[in-house]
Amino acid sequence: MITSKVIAHRGASRLAPENTLAAFRKARDAGASWIEVDVALTADGQAVIFHDEQLNRCSNGHGWLLNHTLAELQRLDAGSWFAAEFHNEQIPTLEALLLWAAEQSINLNLEIKPVIGREAETVDALVIALQAAQARHNHIASQLLLSSFNPLALAHVRAALPTIPRALLTEAIPADAVLRLQQLDCEGLHFCAELVDQAAILALNNSGFSVRAYTVNHTAAADALIAMGVNAIFSDIPDLAITSAHIT
Ligand code: G3P
Ligand code: CA
């Protein structure tokens, strides 16, 4: 269960290139206890941490991530696009991130971002990475929350890893959110903060579901969401001050 009110979005992504170990270290240094990352599939069936389907924005690579092997991806510079000082940053493997998180006692929200049609393989890669990490750190699974916009990915991961909690990602909170969470056996909903709907949050609160909002980088907005019943916010600023007294 997430007790922290701020989840570091792709690490401390205001201070370092998103979804890199540099961003995760800076989130840890800022006091984050939860970090959200994006899990993607390589051409050779490995799970890596990267947000976009295309390599161009966050690395010096080009084209579809899914068309590249892990070895090819690890030769890329995933930091210079942000600032020259990060030129040594690589695209992390999920296994490396899990090992680091276990050693740092950091909790992770793994957002599963499959290319459409590759849901099962993406989940399989996640499971393999988790099993490898568990061989060294047996408790790492207890530090995880899984999430996805993709209901098929949620169904696959429910079958593969039934004891790890899951959340559904949406943009606006759907009118049938409670029913969808029940059907998907999810513990919560992650929605876009700009599309906030107080009545929908209340309905989820009253049904016992967690509600988290992305991406919030201002204290006033975070406070307003927490006061409305949002349990936690995703922020690019992991030490964003939250002053709302609402306890969820
Ligand atoms: O998991 C919350 C948020 O990260 C979802 O949107 O596009 O930042 O992955 P995005
Ligand atoms: Ca994400």
Domain boundaries, the chain: 6-235
Ligand 1, residue 38: give the atom nearest the CA. 9
Which residue matches tokens 């002053």? 243
CATH topology of domain 6-235: TIM Barrel (3.20.20)
Whether 9 sits among the annotated catalytic residues: the reply is: yes
Q: Using CA atoms, how far apart are residues 156 and 245, in angstroms rounded to an integer?
A: 38
Residues in the chain: 248
36 lines ligand 1 (CB under 6 A): yes
Is the confidence metric ipTM above 0.95 for this complex?
A: yes
| Digit-coded pLDDT (tens) for 194-214 | 999 999 999 999 999 999 999
Of the pLDDT bands very low, low, confident and very high (cuts 50, 70, 90), residue 245 is low
In sequence order, what are the beta bridge partners of 6? Answer: 233
Q: Using CA atoms, how far apart are residues 236 and 8, in angstroms rounded to an integer?
A: 6
pTM of the model: 0.97
190 lines ligand 1 (CB under 6 A): yes
pLDDT surpassing 70 at residue 92: yes
